[in-house]
Amino acid sequence: MRKAELEQYRQALLELRARLTGDVSQLADEALRAKEASANQSNMPMHMADVGSENFEQEFTLTLLQKEEDMLGEIDRALGRIAAGTFGLCEECNSDVMRERLKMLPYTRYCVDCARKLEKQA
């Protein structure tokens, strides 16, 4: 892969990381606010449906937070592969990852065939 092409991927990964970092901060703030709000209302009687809704929203926010933190890790590993000169190679079969796949998922570690195979195993 040419240096100019690698630089485009690096820039795309850095932009995605910056956006996700803001999203993670916002989700973490929301989770903390929700927890503080429920703690402040502990003396007030609450309907069971309200408690369930609150718990669901908090779990949903925490799940999103975990997924975005995982993606940030994948982005950092992809940036490491760029620095190491292995970006664009499948970690499973060592073949080239299609450019179209890298444009859609610049942090991907696997070619389409290996990703499908690993997904079936999971």
This prediction has a pTM of 0.74
Number of independent structural domains in the chain: 2
Query: Looking at the predicted structure, is the pLDDT value of residue 43 above 60?
Result: no
Written as six digits, the tokens of 106 are 């610049």
Q: Are residues 63 and 96 in the same domain?
A: no
Q: Are residues 99 and 39 in the same domain?
A: no
pLDDT at 54: 73
pLDDT digits 0-9 by tens, 67-85 = 989 999 999 999 999 999 9
Give the pLDDT mean for 23-42. 63
CB of 90 closer than 8 Å to CB of 114: yes
Neighbours of 71 (CB within 10 A): 17
Query: Looking at the predicted structure, is the pLDDT value of residue 42 above 60?
Result: no
pLDDT at 53: 73
pLDDT at 46: 60
Task: Choose among 101, 70, 68, 71: nearest CA to 87.
Answer: 101
Q: Are residues 62 and 50 in the same domain?
A: yes
